Amino acid sequence: MWEKAPENGEVEAAWVISPDGKGHRLFALGLDAFSQSGDYRDCGMRLGRLAADAPTIAVDLLAFSSPNPNAIGALCEGIALGNFKPATRSDQTLRLILPKDVDQTAYEQAAQTGFIIAHWTNWARDLVERPAADLWPEALAQEIAKRAANLGISAEIWDETRMEAEGFGATLAVGRGADAAPRVVILRCGSGDRPIGLAGKGVTFDTGGLNLKRDPQEIGYMKSDMAGAVAVAGALFAAVELNKAPDVLAVLPMAENMPSGRAMRPGDRVRHPDNSTTEVMDTDSEGRLLLADALSWLNRQKVRALIDVGTLSDGGGVGPEFWGTWSNTANLAARLTSAGDDAGDPGWHLPLRNERGTLLRSRIANRSNVASDEPDSGQIAACYLSQFVGQTEWAHIDNGSTAWLLRDTGPWPEGATGAPLRALTQFLCNEKP
């Protein structure tokens, strides 16, 4: 929530009123000297974290010589991001005190943009932080469909019967070992016949299946394995609320990857919507199986571009500050990374070495989901997914290193970040309808 301060406001820079009624001053020195919106966003996050329990934050811009509206929008976005607490609704009010001789409307619009982006990022973060026992595939599907309906976006939820009819054999196989049934959510925005196709991995908990994960630290945060699905949904929701969304068709396959007597086994063969098959040599490389179903189905819908998002590996080894992307066209990768830079949600374009796909050979299927004689990597996962897109412009985003932080990183706290939601939002806003 935010409001304009009264014209006679006596509040100085970042004056915070605490719940006990006592005032605390948080000084953000040198704001006027910042050259990039990212500096304002990072500063806002730090302020938001420091003042997370305060009912009001007032930011005095009277001393600015010529405050840039976009920079102030980034500051507001940062404050709202910094204010985030899992499973907690914030009623905090942000008050902007503006010089009288500036275009107030421009600042109001910039602040509103910042808050919309932060709202959907925090929505995604809250879902990623939620215990898996509270967010099984049907529950996640219903949450996304409800939000879509509120924005006028068409949403369908497919059950197992519909998934089988549409050929989502890999998603059904991944979810077969769990008591909670798999689901697929279809989101449609716009009426154009050449939409952008988006796919997001929605594994609500990943034990590794019968190839059980061995690292107790890793399995402890596997509730975050659906971060790709909520990043895709949240980006679409933000773009729609900003009235800048192009035509989009999104597919979000969801499953729990659990061991049981019914679970998918190493050596099983699964079938995708394009009627091709994959031999499952590692049940812990299940996310790419879901995305393969989504991509092969989307590619039959004559989309103009394909983008998939999933926590498949360590994001290409570029660290917690960057998501990795592989693409069959340099132009699409450049549009995505440029959008990420602008949004403060950066990515890194990594080379797609198609010859690595020869490592995925199988004697009983069109391909294997992992290489038989080489450690798995983001490169291998991207080569696998590239086999489902044909000649369509496509990019794979691996947010495995950015969706969940193991420790505080810059202004971000440990836990869910929502990445690459803000980058995707900016990308969608930049694209033509």
277-280: strand order across its sheet: 268-271, 277-280, 367-368
Q: Which of 208, 221, 202, 184 is nearest to 308 (CA)?
A: 202
Contact 219, 207 (CB under 8 A): yes
Active site residue 302: no
| Amino acid identity, position 420 | P
Catalytic choice (213, 269, 304, 356): 213
Contact 423, 348 (CB under 8 A): no
Q: Which of 54, 76, 58 is nearest to 6 (CA)?
A: 58
CB within 8 Å of 164: residues ≥ 6 apart: 172
Contact 78, 48 (CB under 8 A): yes
Active site residue 304: no
Separation of alpha carbons 154 and 172, rounded Å: 23
Catalytic choice (288, 335, 367, 422): 288
The separation between CA 197 and the C-alpha centre of its own chain, rounded to angstroms, equals: 15
Separation of alpha carbons 384 and 214, rounded Å: 24
Neighbours of 151 (CB within 10 A): 16
| Amino acid identity, position 61 | L
Catalytic residues: 213, 288
